[in-house]
A and B are shown apart, each in its own frame.
Chain A
Amino acid sequence: MKFTLSWLHEHLDTEASLDAILEALTRVGLEVEGVENPGEKLNGFRVAKVLTAEPHPQADKLQVLTVDTGAEVLQVVCGAPNARAGLVGVLGTPGAVVPANGMQLKVAAVRGVESNGMMCSTRELELGEDHEGIIELPADAPVGTAFSEYAGLNDPVIDVSITPNRQDCMGVRGIARDLAAAGLGTLKPLDVTPVAGEGAGPDVRTDDAEGCPAFFGQSVSGVTNGEAPEWMRNRLTAIGQKPISALVDITNYVMIDLGRPLHVYDRAKLSGGLVARKAKDGEEVLALNGKTYALTSTMTVIADDAAVHDIGGIMGGEHSGCSETTTDVLIECAYFDPEHIARTGQKLLLTSDARTRFERGVDPAFLEDGLAIATRLVTQICGGKASGITRSGAAPTDRRIIGYDPNLAETLGGLAVPVSRQEEILESLGFTVEPLDNNGDPCDLDAVDALRVTVPSWRGDVEGAPDLVEEVIRIEGIDNVPSTPLPRVPGVARPTATAEQKLERKVRRTAAARGLHEAVTWSFISESEAAPFGGGAWTLANPISEDMKVMRPSLLPGLLAAAERNLKRGASSVRLFELGRRYLADKERLTLGIVLAGSRSPRGWQAGKAQGFDAFDAKAEALALLEAAGAPVANLQVMGEAGDVYHPGQSATLRLGPKNVVAAFGKVHPSVLKAFDLDGDVVALELYLDALPARKASGFMRVPYTPPALQAVTRDFAFLVGNDVAAGDLVRAVKGADKALIVDARLFDVFTGQGVPEGQKSLAIEVTLQPGEKSFTDADLKALADKVVAAAAKQGATLRG
C-alpha cells in the first residue's frame, strides 16, 4: 500500500517528521517497505525565465538564450523549437543529473558557445512523454523556485506492507488513524455531507442477500469525463496508478484514500436497472482487464436486463465502463460478502485491488458516507446533477461487543498497562469502552475492572480479548514488553531426543565419518525419474515444473541426478548420501540413500590404476550403517529381489527375517544409469530405517564380560562346493557347527581353476576356536574339525584334499 506524505496530511494533523512517521508505522505493525521522494531526483532543476533568444552563430537549429534563474542570468544553448524570449520553463543547472538519462550537467561549449545549463523537456525529467519542446510553465510561475517544490513533487512516497487482517489500513485514512493513536497527531474530521440529489434514485437492487447484502446507488447526469484535477493525478501517479479519466481516477482515489471500492457505470450503455444477483452457469463477462470470464452460479454479479456488467466486488465489465463520451453515470457503492468474494476470486484466478479489500471485509457502515464522498467528487470534478440515492438491502453493521479483562495486557501480552491508558488507546482507535456491569451483559466476565468494548465497524478483524491485547500492546510499544525467563525444571536439562531421532543422528554422522557427503535433494522429482522406482504414489496437482511433479518413492533418483551433475562438473569420485523421507501411499518413511559413482580410489603411485566401485562397496556401507543404527547385523540374511533398479546378478537385499527388508544394495542397472545420463559403474543402496526393530531400552549396565584367559586358536579349512552354493550359507553353517567353541568363521579365499573340478569352486575358511577352562587337546581339535566338515557337508561341501 503506497501513499504520499501530503496525502497522509489530508487525514492526519501532525508536526511529526517523516522519520518519526516511518518509525511509528513500523512500530505499530504497518511495516515500512520503502520510502522514496520523487522530488529528490529533481535537485538542481529550477523555474527559470528566458530573457533573450538569439540564433546560434554556428548552428541553424540551436539558439543561444539568456536565462534568469532568479539569482543570476546565465547563457544557455538550446535546441528546442519553442524556446523563445519570455518563456518560463525549467532549467537544469550545472551539477544536476538529468533523470531520463543519468547525465550530469556541466558548463560546456556547444559548437563554440558556452552553455551553463539545460532547458528541459517533460521527457527529460521523466514527467511525461513530451519531447517536442521544452516545458512551458505559466508566465507567473515563480522564477528561482526549485521545480520539485513548484510542481508539488517534493512529496515522499511511503510504501507499507498491510497484513491481511488490516483492511482498514488499505486506505490512507486508516493509516492516519493508527498514527494518531500512536501519538503522532490528530485524525482530521472527514466531510461526509451527502450530495442533495434531485428526483428518484437509480433503478438498482440486490437479489442476492448473501453475496451482496447491500447495493447503494446514485446517478449523476450531465458529466464531462475529462482529466482528473492535477492534485489527484499527481497523487495517483506518485503511487504508481496511471491516471485514466476523471471518473475512473475518482473511484481509484476513494478506494486508496478510504479503502472503499466503488464502481461507476456509463448509463448510456445499460439497458434497464442494475441487479446484484447470482450469475447463471454459462454466463460470461468481458472484464476491464480485457479477459473474458466464464461465470458460475456461485458468483455474484451486477447485471442489467441484457448482460452482466460487473463481477461483483472484483472487476467491472469492459462494456459499461466510462469513456470520454460518457455523460450520465451510475455510482455503485455496495457491500460484498468477504467469503463469496474470496471463493469467486479463487475460482476465476482473478485478483484486483477491489477484491483484496472486499475479501478482507470493508467497513460495512461506510456505504452511505462512501457514496456521498464519491458523488461529491464526481459533481465537483465532472459537473452534472446528482439524483436521489437508492438503497437496496443493508450491510451487516451489528457491532461486536467484547468483554475485556484489562489484566490480560499483562497476563497474555506480558506488559502491565494501566486501565486508563488502555481505555485511551482503544478509544483513539475508534473502540467504545465502558465499564462492564455484570448484570446479564452478554459478555459477562468474572474480573475486576472488566470493560465492555465495542469494536468499530471498520475493525472486523477484532474478534476477542486477545485482539484487544494486541491493540493495546502494539500502540503502547511491543518493545516495552519485558523479557521473562521461561520457567525451567530444576537441575541439568533432561534428554529429549526420541529413539528415532538418536538413530537418525547416529546414522548421519557415521555416514559422514565414512567419507560420504550429505546432500539434501528435492522431495519431488519428475515422473520419468520416478518410473524405474515404481512411480510415485503422490502427484502434485499444481507442480512448479514437470521436473518437480511427483513425491519421490526413493531417495536414489535425487542422488543419481546429483551424481550426474557432479561428474559433469569434473568430479572424479562421488560419494553422496541423503537421510530423508520416501513418500509412499501409506506413509512417509525415513530412509537413508547412498550413491557411489566415479572412482573409489584415484590412480596413484602405490595402488596403480584408479579403482571403480562395485556392489561390495555398497554392501560394506549397508552393513556398517546398519551396525551404527544398532541393527542386529549378525542376524542379517542376504537375499535377492533388490528390484529392477539394480543389476540382477550384483544386488541383494538385507533382511531381518524373511519378510523384513531393511536394506537393498547393488550395482545400478545399466538402463537406469542411461535414464539418468550416467555411465561407468555406479552402485547404490537404501536403508529402510523405519523397518529396523526398535531397540529395547536396557539401561546402561553391560552384560558382564571377562576376557578369556586362554588364547584362541585358528584352523583353516578349504572346501569344494558347487558354483551355485552361496558362500554365505557355507560360512554360516561352519560357524554354527559348534555354537559354544567356534567364535568366528571368516572366508578368506575363493578359487576356481587348476585343481578344482569344473562346475565347482574352492572356498577357504579360517575358523577361530576359543578354549574355555582348559586348552584344547589334539582330540578336541580333531572332534571340532569333524564337526565343521560335517556341517559343511550338509551344504554340499567336501573338504578339499
Chain B
Amino acid sequence: MTTDLDQLRTDLLGSIEAATALDAIEAVRVSTLGKQGSVTGLLKTLGGMSPEERQQTGPRIHALREAVSEALGARKASLEAEALNAKLASETLDMTLPVDGVPAGSVHPVSQVMDELAEIFADLGFAVATGPEIEDDWHNFSALNIPETHPARAMHDTFYLAGDHATPMVLRTHTSPVQIRAMKAAGGNKPVRIIAPGRTYRSDSDATHTPMFHQVEGLVIDKGITLGHLKWTLETFLKAFFERDDIVLRLRPSYFPFTEPSAEVDIGFTVINGKRVIGGDPTKGEGGWMEVLGSGMVHSKVIEAGGFDPNEWQGFAFGCGIDRLAMLKYGMDDLRAFFDGDLRWLKHYGFSALDVPTLSGGVGA
C-alpha cells in the first residue's frame, strides 16, 4: 500500500507538471479529485478500514490529496500567467509613436507686463484707472497745460478725428488725460493713487516708433508729496519690475508742460558678455544709461483742472512706454513685431496662461 501510494503520488504530480494547457489540468483534476477520481476513490476506502489501518494510511491519503490539489492550483496559475503574458505580448504597441498635444495658447507680452505693473503698484496702493482713447482736445492737451499754440503740441504728432465735433477730438497722444479723469473722479477731496496703462497714438512710424503703442501713467495726489517720493516710487517700481536690487536711476531735469519740476529718468545698464543688462552702476565699468520714463511734480494748473486745490494738494506723475519696458525686460528688439500677430513670435515671446504675476512668486515670468 505504501509503495502504491508513493508511486501514485509520483505519477500524478508528474502528469500535472506535464500538462501544458488549462484543459489538460482540468482533466487531471477530474481524474483525481473528481467524484470518480482516483484520489477521491482512495479517500472512500478509508471508511472500510480498521481504526489502526485508518490511523496509519489515512494521513497519507489526505496528504496525497493535498499535494495533488496544490500542484493542480500551482500549475493552473502558472499556465494562466503564461497565457496572460502571451496575450499582453501580442498587444504590444510602439510607444515611440507621437501623441497629439492640447494646443497651447499664450498671453501677449504687453498684457503680461500690464498685469505685472498692476500687481506691483497694487502693493504700493495704486489702483488701475482707464480712460477713452478717442479723447477730446481739452483732456489730452488743454487740461494738461498744453494750450493750442504751445510748442509741445508739435512734439506730439497728433492724430485728429475727422468730422464736426463740439471740441476737436484726437487719439490720445499719451495716457496723461487719465490723470485729469482720475482726479475728477476723486472729487477734489481725497488722495489719488493710480496707474493708467493703455493704448496711445502718435502719427510717427519708423524702425523704433509705431503709430500705436502702449504707455502707463502714474499719478499720486496727496498732501506733502515731494520729488523725493517720486524718486522712491520709481526706484521701488523698477527694482520690483526687473527683480533686481542693483537698479540705478539717473534723474535729469527736463520739461513737460504738465509737471513742474520735471525730470526724465534714465535706468543704468551694464554690459555683460557683450549684452546690455538692466541693473548695475554704469559709472563703474562698462555700461550706460537708457531713458525709460518722463516724470515730475504735477503742475498746479493740472491739479486745478482735475478739481483739486493746488494750494492744498500736490503730487507727482510719471509716464512710461509699456512696450519698451517689455523689450528691456524680455529682450525683444523689434517694436513692430508686437502688433503683427505673427504666431511664431507670439509662441516665442508670449506667456503661459498660468504665468499670473504674483508678489510671492515674483512678477516676472
Chain A interface residues toward B at CB < 8 A? 26-29, 31, 163-166, 338-339, 342-343, 346, 356, 359-360, 410-415, 464, 466-467, 469-470, 473-474, 478-479, 481-489, 493-498, 501, 505, 508-524, 538-544, 548, 551, 558-559, 561-563, 565-566, 569, 571, 573-577, 579-581, 583, 588, 601-602, 604-607
Contacts and interface: CB of A to CB of B under 8 A. Distances in A.
A482 B228 contact: yes
Contacts of B342: 562, 565-566, 569
A378 B264 CA distance: 42
Given A523-B133, A571-B343, A29 B252 contact: yes
A512 B154 CA distance: 40
B160 A512 contact: no
Nearest to B94: A605
B98 to A, nearest CB: 8
- A-B CB proximity, top 7 nearest: A562-B341, A414-B228, A29-B253, A515-B103, A470-B261, A163-B255, A484-B228
A3 B148 CA distance: 31
B123 to A, nearest CB: 4
Contacts of A519: 108, 341, 346
Contacts of A515: 102-105
B159 interface: yes
Interface string B83-105: 00000000000000110101111
Contact of B346 (A413, A488, A518): A518
Given A411-B224, A485-B232, A544-B203, A467 B260 contact: yes
Contact of B232 (A483, A576, A580): A483
B250 A520 contact: no
A483 B115 CA distance: 26
Interface of B: 97-98, 100, 102-108, 110-111, 115, 118, 121-128, 132-134, 148-152, 154-155, 159-163, 169, 171, 199, 201, 203, 205, 211-212, 220, 222, 224-233, 235-236, 250-255, 260-264, 297, 299-300, 314, 338-344, 346-347, 350-354, 356
Contacts of A576: 341, 343
Given A541-B162, A588-B132, 11 more contacts: A339-B149, A467-B261, A485-B229, A486-B125, A486-B232, A497-B128, A509-B107, A515-B103, A518-B108, A520-B339, A540-B160
A431 to B, nearest CB: 16
B159 A588 contact: no
A27 B226 contact: no
A376 B159 CA distance: 47
A764 to B, nearest CB: 29
B280 to A, nearest CB: 17
Given A473-B261, A565-B341, A166 B134 contact: no
Contacts of A481: 227-228, 231, 251
A514 B115 CA distance: 19
12 contacts: A31-B264, A342-B149, A359-B151, A414-B230, A470-B260, A483-B232, A493-B125, A523-B201, A538-B169, A544-B211, A562-B341, A569-B344
B253 A473 contact: yes
A297 to B, nearest CB: 18
Given A505-B115, A573-B103, A581-B133, A538 B161 contact: yes
Contact of B149 (A338, A494, A508, A512): A338
B353 A509 contact: yes
A412 B226 contact: yes
Contact of B253 (A470, A579, A583): A470
Contacts of B314: 412
B325 to A, nearest CB: 15
A522 B339 contact: yes
A163 B254 contact: yes
Main secondary structure of the interface of A (DSSP, over half): mixed
A489 B127 CA distance: 14
A493 B122 CA distance: 7
B111 A579 contact: yes
Given A26-B252, A478-B251, A522-B212, A543 B125 contact: no
B261 A488 contact: no
Contacts of A166: 255
A508 B110 CA distance: 12
Given A414-B231, A517-B346, A488 B162 contact: no
B163 to A, nearest CB: 7
A482 B132 CA distance: 36
Given A413-B227, A522-B212, A539 B343 contact: no
Contact of B105 (A413, A487, A514, A604): A514
A260 to B, nearest CB: 18
A431 B2 CA distance: 135
B125 A538 contact: no
Contact of A484 (B126, B151, B226): B226
Residue among B150, B235, B341, B350 with most chain A CB within 10 A: B341
A164 B155 CA distance: 9
Contacts of A505: 115
A524 to B, nearest CB: 8
Contact of A474 (B162, B222, B253, B356): B253
B346 A540 contact: no
Contacts of B228: 414-415, 481-484
